[in-house]
Chains A and B, each alone.
Chain A
Amino acid sequence: MSGIEELLARIRAQMDLDGETEYQVLAEIRDHLEEAMVRAQAEGLDEATALAQVAARFGLEEVGTELQAVHAGWGTADAVIAAGLPVVCALVLRWLAFAPDGTALGWPQLLNRPAFWIVAVAALLVPLLKLERWRYALVTWAIFWTLTVMFVALPALRW
């Protein structure tokens, strides 16, 4: 493992982010460290000394901790927001086009069905799977449309 890879590994050890975010964060830091190394070596330092200087000036552990604080939570919040829109759209369609009693006025009946609430809450918890943002929305959308199609195809089922 090269010196810069070791520094990146130390930063990575301080973080627990989703794959895409971590990749982007580390790519940006890699660019910084590489340029700092070039500059340090241009000043006459050998590789080991330059690496030590770059690491000391960067503040590896502190940066990893702060990046984790900035990005953690937000990923889940973003995902819940991303999941929220397709959930609302799917529910509106479910209520308006495929209402339980065949009319749009019958949609409040859904609110009295525990299974409805279980599925809705489960869909909103999908973000806990730590998928990428667009996949959260896709998974949620898929859940609701699968259910909608299922209940249209099998009208005897009640949820």
Chain B
Amino acid sequence: MTIQQQMRKGTTTVIILKLLADADRPMYGYEIIQELEARSGGAFDFKEGLIYPRLHELERQGLLSSHWQGDEGGRRRKFYTITDMGRRRLEWELQSWRTLTEQVNRLLGVEANP
């Protein structure tokens, strides 16, 4: 896996957790993608389908839970919810992110936004 792929994977993970924590309700894959695009003003531009490997990975790690809605024969939709473990992981990731950006900003001599 390239550095870019690792960064994309890491940032996508924390963004998904943050989105689901803020929403505080179950969301499905396409809805998550649309919300990410809306929040980022289109800057968060990556292949839509790549959300699914990340969602499935987070679910396996116990950070998300999921349930299906709809009939077996009709349209079925999989919804994801952040778990308590996911919220704790999000807090840890956000703290790590703040620490990293502060350190890099200091190194680069960049003023942090108020």
Measuring CB to CB, which residues of chain A are less than 8 angstroms from any residue of chain B? 11, 24-25, 27-29, 31-32, 34-36, 57-60, 62-63, 66-67, 69-71, 74
Chain A residues whose CB sits within 8 angstroms of the CB of B75 once the complex forms: 31, 34
Task: List 23 A-B pairs, Cβ < 8 Å.
Answer: A11-B49, A25-B52, A25-B56, A28-B29, A28-B78, A31-B28, A31-B29, A31-B30, A31-B77, A34-B75, A57-B47, A58-B49, A59-B47, A60-B49, A62-B47, A63-B47, A63-B50, A63-B52, A66-B53, A69-B53, A70-B57, A71-B56, A74-B60
Chain A residues whose CB sits within 8 angstroms of the CB of B84 once the complex forms: none
> Interface centre among B49, B52, B60, B76, by most A CB within 10 Å?
B49
Majority-rule SS of A interface residues: helix
Measuring CB to CB, which residues of chain B are less than 8 angstroms from any residue of chain A? 28-30, 47-50, 52-53, 56-57, 60, 75-78
Determine whether the beta carbon of A57 is less than 8 Å from that of B48. Answer: yes
Chain B residues whose CB sits within 8 angstroms of the CB of A71 once the complex forms: 56
Q: Which B residue's beta carbon lies closest to that of A67?
A: B53
| Smallest CB separation, A66 vs chain B (Å) | 4
**Complex A-B, nearest 10 residue pairs according to Cβ-Cβ distance, in ascending order:** A59-B47, A63-B49, A66-B53, A58-B49, A32-B30, A28-B78, A70-B53, A59-B49, A35-B30, A70-B56
